[in-house]
Chains A and B, each alone.
Chain A
Amino acid sequence: MVTDFIILICNLYNFSPCLTKVNNQADQLIISKVLAGDTVVYAVLVNRYRNMAFTLAYNIITNREDAEEVAQDAFVKAFHALESFKEQSTFSTWFYRIVVNAALNKKKLKKFTTHDVTEQITDTEQESVGSLLQLYESRDQKKYLQRAMLELRDDERICITMFYLNELSITEIHELTGLSAANIKVLLHRGRKHLYDKLHDLLKTEIKNLI
């Protein structure tokens, strides 16, 4: 009850570091209850992470049915392995590892490929994805953004998903994918750039079609 109230306050004031800490504590509380035999409480964890697990799996597999199956399998596996979960890492990182492994197995991928890290990363190159989309309605924004995401390279899309949607740090992404921090930064940089380019192309084609 108290935790829910703190989460609500943090959400209202958009105070994410506090929110992350409270969420982690809430996860720990749920896990200890599940381990004590109250398995029904696990539904709270499922509800909390289902969309993020599904999004992560979907961005690796790019097939909705398979991604949903993988996400469900991951939750079942996590439940059975809950006793082995050490509090050294957060539940989310531990759980995303299960999702990533299951999704990679489904896609029959063994590991991520490394990239040339000589590319210069400059902040000035960053283009605004938001400014491209601001002319469109929310429904259309969603449609174009999802299409542009699917057109990204697999590794770029996965890194973007982990970093922005699953809110994982570079170190955590390194733990999950085995890619070096430099490689991840390059992939994020290229991903952002390609996302902008793809959106730009998509919108240009759309405007041409309208004319």
Chain B
Amino acid sequence: MLEDKKLKELLREYAMEETSADFTNIVMSRLQCADLWQKTVPLFKLRLPQMLAALFAAICGALLLLSFFIQSTQLPVHFSVKLPENYFSQIISFLIVFWIVMLVNQLLQRKKLSYFL
């Protein structure tokens, strides 16, 4: 028991590590930063992007519905330029390749992030 007390005294005297001198200041400044961040009013509300996305989807849906009821001949705009057919196949293959490359890129980036974290 006495030996245990001696060991405790010895360890508390010599095995206690000390932080850097500005430790408390760093912690307090981090707390202040976090506090300021919480108090900061965002320039736009977080819901705004969601509202814009919903609006975009609604317009797309409305246009899609209208396309069923309005015939192309009723439209005031007429395209007289004839495009070669291979243009369409090229556009479609570009879109497919673009999305495949983007998805692969996203997957690779996620793997990289999880490796570093």
Q: Could you tell me which A residues sit within 8 Å of B by CB distance?
A: 39-40, 42-43, 46-47, 50-52, 54-55, 58, 64, 67-68, 71-72, 75-76, 79-80, 123, 126, 128-130, 133, 138, 141-142, 145-146, 149, 160-161, 164-165, 192
Main secondary structure of the interface of B (DSSP, over half): helix
A43–B14 CA distance with the chains assembled, in angstroms: 25
Q: Distance in Å from the Cβ of B104 to the closest Cβ of chain A?
A: 29
How many contacts between A and B, using CB within 8 angstroms? 86
- Are B15 and A42 interface neighbours, CB within 8 A? no
- Name B's A-contacting residues (CB within 8 A): 1, 3-4, 6-8, 10-20, 23-24, 26-28, 30-31, 34-35
What is the CA–CA distance of A46 and B1 in the complex, to the nearest angstrom?
32
Q: Are B11 and A50 in contact (CB under 8 A)?
A: no
Chain A: CB-nearest residue to B33: A76
Contact A54 B19, beta carbon cutoff 8 Å: yes
- Is the Cβ of B16 less than 8 Å from the Cβ of A55? yes
Residues in B whose Cβ lies below 8 Å from that of A71: 19, 23
* Other-chain contact of A130, B10, B27, B30 (Cβ < 8 Å): B10
Chain A residues lying within 8 Å of B16, measured Cβ to Cβ, are 51-52, 55, 165
In the assembled complex, which residues on chain A have CB atoms less than 8 Å from the CB atom of B4? 126
Contacts of B27 in A (CB 8 A): 43, 46, 50, 72, 75-76
Q: Closest approach, in angstroms, between the C-beta of A184 and any C-beta of chain B?
A: 14
Q: Tell me if A72 and B23 are in contact (CB < 8 A).
A: yes
Q: Are B12 and A141 in contact (CB under 8 A)?
A: no
Chain A nearest CB, measured from B27 CB (Å): 5
Closest Cβ of chain B to A98, distance in Å, is 13
Contact between chains at B7 and A42 (CB < 8 Å): no
Contacts of A54 in B (CB 8 A): 17-19, 23
